[in-house]
Structure 1
Amino acid sequence: MVVAGVDEVGRGPLAGAVVAAAVILDPNQPIVGLNDSKKLTAKRREQLAVEIRAKALAWSLGRAEVEEIDQINILQATFLAMQRALEGLAIQPDLVKIDGNRCPVSTYAMQAIVGGDATVAEISAASILAKVVRDAELVALDAIYPQYGFAKHKGYGTAAHLAALREFGATPIHRRSFAPVRQTLAAS
């Protein structure tokens, strides 16, 4: 049975796209050290991402942009990113395992697994690929908008990010449907 693991990164941040990955691992090329991407150091995630790309039978990324998040809400945008990741796979899976408690509408057989990013190798691999890509995007955005500190907090609503939002206002990469951004815009 061909199993794909799917996970997303970026549901909670106030800025940037939500990025999902779908991964089908090769049972003949196990990858040691797979885990929930949040439990790994940035360096270890980078190392594992290279190995996942090299050894996986198939992998793909999907995303939903800030405008889509604001139009359809973060949950639906997350599902859209997941569907896009699945559509990009070169091999069609028999079963898709999703991290979380809900699955997007799909023609695939799906299983939601709470905490799957720490317990299912395919989901862990997807978690790592998605996080490495999204983190790199936020570091690049930090160069464009240095006053916000994206390289440090990756768009999450930290005290420093909220303070920068109040001081400098929202950028085009901020999610206007999220309350802290909406409130900042209303106050200005």
Structure 2
Amino acid sequence: MTKEAISEIKTHLLNVTTLTDPYVTYLQADERKGVQKLLLQLQKRLEKEQALKEQFYHMQTFERSCYQNGIHLVAGIDEVGRGPLAGPVVAAAVILPKDRVILGLNDSKQLSGKKRIALAEEIKEQAVAFGIGEIPAEKIDQINIYQASKLAMIQAVEGLNMKPEHLLIDAMTLDLPISQEKIIKGDARSVSIAAASIIAKVYRDNLMKEYHQQYPYYGFDKNAGYGTKAHLDGLAEHGITEIHRKSYAPIKKYL
């Protein structure tokens, strides 16, 4: 009997979800080094997936508590962009479905850019609803970044196409007539807040890449408005733009 080609086995193993699969048992008798290498890769992949499932379950503690109390529409809320010298502060609100697992959800700062983008697409596809809030630099200068962050979060909640029953918010409370829970380091402790942090981060990064086309001297496509050397060099040579936060100390000297 002709043995399967290594390439065929590799394709077949992509659909295997457990090491007890009869196909895996069959392959364990195949002494070819290439086959045994594929089995080792499968084991590592399944172990990683299991770890991510356990992480998701642990990070769903706040949401499960709500579900068990008859609260089904739980929105996680987070913002990004408090520290940059330029651009808006952006918030997102996300209501995740109760019965779906999105592997890899975590604080957006802990993820690679590629992983964030992939997860943002998956979140948008799976989410019951999501909303975005965006407060520009001019408004930040008027009301301060803390108040602007709150306003962005409120906008994000109001941007949902359905009213949430409960809010899980990263280190904030909002002036909204909705029950809410303030969670310190919530983007690393709640799947809903983590999802919001990813949506907000990807949205803002894309926005700053667009601003880079308009203002190419500051490296906005790479630094997202943070005070990197390229950004500071651009300020020294070209001055400030309309999207710079004039209330921030490094910018004030260019006014």
Q: Is 2:171 the counterpart of 1:96?
A: no
Which of 145, 149, 154 pairs up with 2:224? 154
User: Which amino acid in 2 is paired with 1:5?
Assistant: G
Spell out the pairing of 1:1-188 with structure 2 (5 A cutoff): 1=71, 2-100=73-171, 102-185=172-255
Which one scores higher on RCO, CA 8 angstroms, separation ≥ 6? 1
Cα distance in 1 for residues equivalent to 2:188 and 2:237: 38
SS state at 1:147 partner = coil
**More displaced, 122-131 or 24-33?**
24-33
User: Which amino acid in 2 is paired with 1:88?
Assistant: G
CA RMSD of aligned residues (A): 1.0
Cα distance in 2 for residues equivalent to 1:112 and 1:162: 35
Q: Which structure has the greater CA radius of gyration?
A: 2
Q: Please give the TM-score of this superposition, normalised by the length of structure 1.
A: 0.94
User: Which amino acid in 2 is paired with 1:26?
Assistant: P
Equivalences, count: 184
**Cα shift at 1:130:** 0.3
Cα distance in 2 for residues equivalent to 1:183 and 1:107: 41
Give the gaps of 5 or more residues in structure 2. 1-70
**More displaced, 20-29 or 153-162?**
153-162
Sequence identity of aligned pairs in percent? 52
Cα distance in 2 for residues equivalent to 1:32 and 1:109: 28
CA contact (8 A) 2:94 2:130 kept: yes
SS state at 1:148 partner = coil
CA contact (8 A) 2:89 2:136 kept: yes
Cα distance in 2 for residues equivalent to 1:44 and 1:55: 16
Cα distance in 2 for residues equivalent to 1:183 and 1:103: 34
Cα distance in 2 for residues equivalent to 1:114 and 1:182: 32
**Cα shift at 1:184:** 2.2
**Cα shift at 1:147:** 1.1
Cα distance in 2 for residues equivalent to 1:76 and 1:18: 11
**Cα shift at 1:26:** 0.3
**Cα shift at 1:73:** 0.8
**Cα shift at 1:29:** 1.8
**Cα shift at 1:11:** 0.7
**More displaced, 153-162 or 36-45?**
153-162
**More displaced, 162-171 or 125-134?**
162-171
**More displaced, 146-155 or 88-97?**
88-97
Q: Please give the TM-score of this superposition, normalised by the length of structure 2.
A: 0.70
SS state at 2:91 partner = strand
Cα distance in 2 for residues equivalent to 1:107 and 1:166: 46
**Cα shift at 1:163:** 2.2
SS state at 1:165 partner = helix
**Cα shift at 1:91:** 2.1
User: Which amino acid in 2 is paired with 1:34?
Assistant: L
